[in-house]
Amino acid sequence: MDPTSNIDLILNQNSGGRPIIGCFPLYPPLELFSSMGLYPFVMWNLKSSIGDLTESDKHIQSYACAIARELVQYVLSGSFSNPDGIFFYNACDTLRNTPEILKSPGSASGSDMAMLQMHLPQVNRFQTNADDYLKNEIEELIIATEKAFNVKFDPCRFEQTVLQYSDLREYCQQAETKVAEGALSFESFAEVVMANYLLPPELQIEKLIDLIRQSKSGSFRKSPGVVVSGIMPPPGKVIRAIEASGLRIVSNDIAALKRSYAYNPKPTGDPGTYYTDLYNNRFPCTTLLYKSDQRLDMFLDLVETSEASGVIFCGEKYCEYEYFEFPHLEKRLKEKGVAILNMEFSIDDVDNIGAYITRIEAFAELLNS
């Protein structure tokens, strides 16, 4: 059974009565909420839980991405217990318009769900210093959270939580290294990391330690390496097909994976300093406009240092942030002799993967030849 198939059960089993806060993707301040005694989880990877999109389709158009449609379905379907609160930030044009839909009068989500928000500065850091703005946003978020949930911020608890998340990111990186070596499958790695988004940090760490223990020892055949890029990892069946074709996923540039755990800020009890560091220095994502210049260099560097001979772009249908970049990245990679496979996943493609498998096999043949 897919680990996210019963979200309510997982959240209720693990929250221990803490208020549950559903966070919009992509990069919410999880450490902050966690340290304040809340139970944050990121509302993505919901496909296997929500069934259909009937409720979402009444509110947002079918040309919104799967992440947004599934999120709306999850909150508005009435099939799940509502989180006690929702956190959102300016992650993308579609997601910024979604909170008011979730809170619309007469919606299943009701009116007593706390809505917490911040604006993540997207201005070029070389042009305007936005650190003070961001620090103020974090301060205001703390005040709003304290008020909404009758909790108190504590710098010591924050620092402890930050250390826990730091360990968590370290374990993610260790597991990723095992995948690159061929000692672990990317499929099991991605499955654990994605399922972890519903779990508290201590349990996430346990799952990752278990995963790392399962890795094989010894030396492995050095099959052609590929980097997988996108917002979400491709569907399990597609990852299986990539690995079965003899390709080794030597690194990833996935928003829900590496772009989330690659940078570990210096631990501190000051949330303003911590999040300024984290957001300013995190692995560049297509959605972080101020990271645009670094993104190109870091992506090319990632491909080079991982010695990948190919890149598989897993496009999230209708995610324009990603699609504006593909042609230029493709051009730059081709100049370096790196082969490209472009795949696109929309809402129903998880069930119809025959064509993907054929393309993956052809790509593997190309890289093996």
Instruction: Name the residues that contact other proteins, by CB under 8 A.
Output: 58-61, 63-64, 68, 90, 92-94, 96-101, 104, 117, 119, 121-124, 127-128, 130, 133, 136, 286, 289-290, 292, 296, 315, 317-318, 320-321, 323-328, 330
Instruction: Give the nearest distance from C-beta 253 to other proteins in angstroms.
Output: 16
220 vs 324, beta carbon nearer other proteins: 324
3 vs 28, beta carbon nearer other proteins: 28
Q: Can you list the alpha helix ranges (DSSP code H) found in the chain?
A: 7-15, 30-35, 47-50, 66-76, 93-96, 99-102, 131-149, 155-181, 186-196, 201-213, 236-244, 258-261, 271-281, 292-305, 320-323, 326-335, 354-368
Instruction: Give the nearest distance from C-beta 362 to other proteins in angstroms.
Output: 19
132 vs 202, beta carbon nearer other proteins: 132
Instruction: Give the nearest distance from C-beta 291 to other proteins in angstroms.
Output: 11
Measuring CA to CA, how many Å separate 24 from each of 3, 64, 150, 303? Answer: 19, 15, 22, 29
Residues 310 and 304: their CA atoms lie apart, in Å, by: 10
Measuring CA to CA, how many Å separate 225 from each of 108, 207, 295? Answer: 47, 26, 21
127 vs 217, beta carbon nearer other proteins: 127
Length of the chain: 369
263 vs 326, beta carbon nearer other proteins: 326
Q: Are 182 and 248 in contact (CB under 8 A)?
A: yes
Instruction: Give the nearest distance from C-beta 124 to other proteins in angstroms.
Output: 6
Instruction: Give the nearest distance from C-beta 325 to other proteins in angstroms.
Output: 7
- In 3D space, the residue among 242, 253, 235 whose CA is nearest the CA of residue 345 turns out to be 235
99 vs 235, beta carbon nearer other proteins: 99
197 vs 321, beta carbon nearer other proteins: 321
Instruction: Give the nearest distance from C-beta 74 to other proteins in angstroms.
Output: 17
Instruction: Give the nearest distance from C-beta 221 to other proteins in angstroms.
Output: 34
**Count of CB atoms within 10 A of residue 102's CB?**
23
Residues 224 and 96: their CA atoms lie apart, in Å, by: 40
